[in-house]
Structure 1
Amino acid sequence: MSTKNKHAVWDLPIRLMHWALVATVAAAWITSSRIGAAHEYFGYAAAAVVGIRLAWGYTGSRYARFTQFLSPVPQTILYLRSVLNGTASRYLGHNPLGGWMVVAILSCVGLLGITGWLATTEWLWGYAWLVALHAGTGWLLLALIALHVAGVLFTSWQHRENLVAAMVSGKKLDRGDADIT
């Protein structure tokens, strides 16, 4: 495969933030059974990655911008139907479902950061509802991650491309069959 057919999609900041979020969320999950400094620091680090990603979603490169990959809900539903029918279009950037998954995961991690921090404040220390919200959001994030990984694997199979490799290199093969908008 020629490198001239490779199209730069995900820039270095996006790839670093993606893998930093993977690492910090995994570390926060691993340390969640022992509430303490390590769990808090990993949670704050994950929340910081989300904050930087939100800023980069408005100021970053083309495929990093929310305006590039967030499709209207009706268009996303049509895309889901095409996935289920086996006729989904290939995208160089995020497909409509992938774009909304980015929003869902970032929102979940952001809510975890906020609820985790609030649970350490004098104002809300010890409130069971806050602990339940934090734990429930953690489980929701785990479900979203599983759905995200399944979607990546399915889309890689469906379009015969390695999306994990693309998230490492930042480049995808431009075969002329992808929606590059």
Structure 2
Amino acid sequence: MTSRPTADATPRLDRSAPPEAQRVKVWDPLVRVFHWTLALGCITNLTVLRDAEAPHRYVGYAVATALVVRLLWGVIGTPHARFADFVTTPRRLLGYLKALLRGREPRYIGHNPAGAVMMLALMGLGATCAATGWMMGLDAFWGDRRVEAIHEVAANLILVMAVVHVLAALVESWRHRENLVGAMITGLKRAPSGDDVDHAALTHRG
């Protein structure tokens, strides 16, 4: 009696999907505006507006407002915008990273686990910068070096993580034959197929 071969449960990376395949709306306008507001706000405040006190402060207020709106939208927004769609567990993240190292990670229609952790980390660091920047303008914390140090460290971490985020997006775009930067402009991604993961669709049907 011959034994049946064991099926490999790890999804196989599919690079065969044609670029002209049907596309679906994934990122709504608010998600896209938030993404670019956070990105451009942090870049300008860390570079050209770093020492421009008033403009730096106003950009910080804009970023803080965008973060508050995004937090609310993560609860009541469109399916792929909700935290329930992409907030992951350590076990799921570890499984994804292991598959990534083997070159067999599945394609996610929304945020993949690594991207979700990166997004939450950047939001947390952005909130830290906004809060400490506001505190530095109060009499109670004027000249407080601890608050200034936290603000500076959080800002530098944003810069480092933003570079990692961009590089990861470019690599994933190549591996899955999909322009992820373009998707955050148009909101459109290739329709799910095969082993693609789409938590929002499953939740919506449920």
Q: Same fold (TM over 0.5)?
A: yes
Please say if 1:18 is aligned against 2:35. Answer: yes
2:60 to 20, 37, 43: 43
More helix by share: 1
Amino acid at match of 1:86: G
1:64 to 72, 76, 81: 81
Point out where structure 1 has 5 or more consecutive residues left out of the alignment.
Answer: none
Equivalent in the alignment of 1:109: 126
Give the fraction of aligned pairs with identical amino acids, expressed as a percent.
34
Which digits, 9 at most, give the CA deviation of each residue in 1:124-180, with x for residues without a partner? 000111111100110011111011111101111111111011111111111513111
Please tell me whether the aligned partners of residues 8 and 171 of structure 1 are also in contact (alpha carbons under 8 angstroms).
yes
Amino acid at match of 2:69: I
Which digits, 9 at most, give the CA deviation of each residue in 1:9-60, with x for residues without a partner? 1011111111111221122112454151011111111111111111111110
Instruction: Output aligned runs, 1:1-181, within 5 Å.
Output: 1=20, 5-177=22-194, 178-181=196-199
Please tell me whether the aligned partners of residues 44 and 50 of structure 2 are also in contact (alpha carbons under 8 angstroms).
no
Runs (4 or more) in structure 1 with deviation over 6 Å come to none
Please tell me whether the aligned partners of residues 15 and 168 of structure 1 are also in contact (alpha carbons under 8 angstroms).
yes
Please tell me whether the aligned partners of residues 31 and 38 of structure 1 are also in contact (alpha carbons under 8 angstroms).
no
How far apart, in 1, do the equivalents of 2:107 and 2:50 lie?
41
With normalisation by structure 2, the TM-score equals 0.83
Point out where structure 2 has 5 or more consecutive residues left out of the alignment.
Answer: 1-19, 200-206
For the aligned residues, what is the CA RMSD?
1.2
How far apart, in 1, do the equivalents of 2:48 and 2:141 lie?
22
- The number of residue pairs the alignment matches comes to 179
